[in-house]
Structure 1
């Protein structure tokens, strides 16, 4: 291994160049505290034994800033690659002048007012630019809102560059789209109501005109026409009743009259009421209850919902068919299942059957006196009770409706 003195002689040029770059002084001291190299060429061969060099020989790095002499001194031990603190070959002592740093600090301190002024001007310019950009975005948005307010909702608000404006525009566009959907639904509802109310009136007018155009109408034909008119009046009355029911259900859920009801008894009453209608067509209705179920519900509204399902199961069933009604419950929900052996519901129609005035077979619905509102009423009742309703059906194989409602009402 070469000695530290030999290595210092070989690298003296690099050491002097480093000292010049730092505008400071570098000393190289061996393990006996002898100065081997001094970039100032003042103390070569002398010994440097101080408290700091003794600490450094133990492997500790020592750094001091001497205020009075205006320089920074750093003492670093020279060790082998094993980095063993007990094996220190020498020291490198670097002393760097702090004059330039102090002069720069004094200069910056003297220029602080100018720097603050420049920073203020830059900040002011930046703030003005941002304010102008925000103002332009607000004006653009205001113009677009004025256009929308005038009745032109087709385009919606433009998507702005700023995230906040983008979020605001997106939220407002969602409101506009929701408004469009509600408006389309309203127009469709008004159109459907007008059509449904007009149809029975048109039929009654045709029947009445037919009677008036024939002076000598046979009594049998007269009675037949009057029965048809009564049927159309009943149909008109049923449509109006269902519409009023839907309007009431569109109000807040505070209209629910929640009481503790035995669901078994509720279903038995409904089946007794509907059984005579089913027996005329040879349809058998069976009720299967797995357990006694008591739940917090609005008895009147739930009876209406279940009645609609069971009546539909009878109306759209084949002669001599079957209707199975079952009741079950777990620790949280009760389940009502209504299964029929009727004509079934096509798969592509199953998502729309709960919409108002939607009918799978319009001709069959008119024959059975359906208004297209029964399932919409049923769904509204179930949703008001925080429940759910689903249908399983294949065309020609009957349909199964399943209602799930919490045992305890959730306000």
Structure 2
């Protein structure tokens, strides 16, 4: 609210108080007139009793710094504190409405006075009887003086307000500048390579949110750096292990001048096996790099998911039959979706192969397909050893293995689930796992029916 608006507000409030005070005093006078009778207030025929009554009216007019007129039911002026219009008639639109019992609001007379009309009611009967009117003309001299004073002081108040605003703005600017300087110094320290440092969270809400966001970015960077270092370490270890095995086998052959053919063939088969393993690791690494969701290109087409799963199960069934594992496919409905057939086949193949590899002999693998109006769902359930609860968050990370010894025995590289997750994310989908040790695992894939690029 501006200063001028505030002055107008206080001016109106003062006038309202003046009106209420006048109405209250006139109401008291109205009761006295009804009790004493109009004849005691007729200034044209003064008597001893009427003189005292007229004195009360004049005293009220003096208190209000204005003028009081008393009008009977015939609109005749009985009393006028200015003693000008006694005996005359006053018929106006306001007096007619007031005499009919209608409420008449006050009105201004020039800039200095208000006219207030109040009916004189006899409330002794069931239906109030209007006996006449009190017209009070009230001076606004004090209210106008107050307004003039406030307007005179407006420039001073505006100047004080501007000075206070400037001082406050300077203080806030200094606080903000200091906060920015502290933040800049802390960022310089972090940029110099001290990633263990973080930003101090400021008191201002905006700076607090900014510092919190920077700290989240720094923590995310730390996690990525740790993941990168762990990935490099795992890649080095996984690539080095087959090479070390091949070197040991080759050195063993070289150390024996006359090697039997059977032993030579056995060693060479082992070397070939290690080469295949090395090749598989490199192939999976290249696949994972190509599957990077920020770089990979999808060849989207309409694919019947039912046929895709049937082809995969036919391919994997011979491997499962060797261990007595039964593979079952259950399709709730025909599902046609917009996907990259090659990449989705790779992801589903990894899940089904894992369900067979890490299953118990004579176990079972159940694959089901369902859909709603927006997504289709693939569920792969096995009866294997299950995944410990504390490992379920990490199984989609690169080179992570729950049982490293068993993974190497089955020929796993630790990259299959990472590739699967990347394929699902590229399709704007999600994958989750439910597992309990000794009771098997269930992987659930959810992918949109219509691809959103």
- 8 Å contact from structure 1 (residues 278, 285) kept in 2: yes
1:305 Cα deviation after fit: 0.9
Residues 60 and 76, structure 1, Cα contact 8 Å, conserved in 2: no
Q: Deviation of residue 83 (structure 1)?
A: 13
String of CA shifts for 1:45-102, please: whole Å, max 9, x gaps. Answer: 9997765444323333445555558222222335588999964365454433222333
Q: Tell me the secondary structure at the aligned position of residue 253 of structure 1.
A: coil
Q: Which moved more, 1:249-258 or 1:21-30?
A: 21-30
Compared CA separation, residues 92 and 331, structure 1 to 2 (3 A): same
- Deviation of residue 331 (structure 1)? 4.5
C-alpha contact (below 8 Å) 1:59/1:85 kept by paired residues: no
Question: Structure 2 regions of 5+ residues with no counterpart?
Answer: 1-42
Asked whether the 8 Å contact 2:44–2:87 carries over to 1, the reply is no
User: CA 1:113–1:300 in structure 2 vs 1: closer, same or farther (change >3 Å)?
Assistant: same
Q: Deviations over 1:210-231 (max 9, x none)?
A: 4444455444334333322322
Q: Deviations over 1:123-157 (max 9, x none)?
A: 33333233223222222322232233223344533
Offset of 1:255 from its aligned partner? 0.5
Unaligned runs of 5+ in 1: none
Q: Determine whether 1:315 maps to 2:337.
A: no
Offset of 1:298 from its aligned partner?
Answer: 0.9
CA RMSD of aligned residues (A): 4.7
Between 1:347-356 and 1:28-37, the stretch displaced more is 28-37
Question: Helix, strand or coil for the counterpart of 2:106?
Answer: strand
Aligned residue for 1:254, secondary structure, equals: coil
- The 8 Å contact of residues 290 and 296 in structure 2, kept in 1 or not, is answered as no
Which sits farther off after the overlay, 200-209 or 185-194? 200-209
Decide whether the 8 Å contact of 2:122 with 2:128 is kept in 1.
no
In structure 2, the residue matched to 1:373 is 415
Counterparts of 1:21 and 1:153, CA distance in 2: 81
Higher mean alpha-carbon deviation, 361-370 vs 143-152, is at 143-152
Taking structure 1 as the reference length, what is the TM-score of the superposition? 0.80
State the 1:12 CA deviation: 11
CA separation of 1:88 and 1:225: change in aligned 2, threshold 3 A = farther
Shift of 1:376: 1.5
CA distance in structure 1 between the aligned counterparts of 2:173 and 2:213, rounded to whole angstroms: 23
Q: 1:4 to 1:362 in 2, by over 3 A?
A: farther
Aligned in 2, Cα 1:347/1:135: closer, same or farther, shift over 3 Å? closer
- Classify 1:106/1:322 alpha carbon distance in 2 versus 1 (closer, same or farther; 3 Å): closer
SS of aligned partner of 1:95: strand
> CA 1:7–1:259 in structure 2 vs 1: closer, same or farther (change >3 Å)?
farther
Distance 1:392 1:145, change over 3 A: closer
> CA deviation digits over 1:184-205, x for unaligned, max 9?
3222222222222222233333
* The 10-residue stretch of structure 1 (237-246 or 113-122) with the greater mean CA deviation from structure 2: 113-122
User: 1:49 and 1:383, CA in 2 relative to 1: closer, same or farther beyond 3 A?
Assistant: same
Q: Once the 2 structures are TM-superposed, how far is the Cα of residue 304 of structure 1 from its aligned partner?
A: 0.8
Total equivalences in the alignment: 411
The 2-side partners of 1:4 and 1:225 are apart by: 145
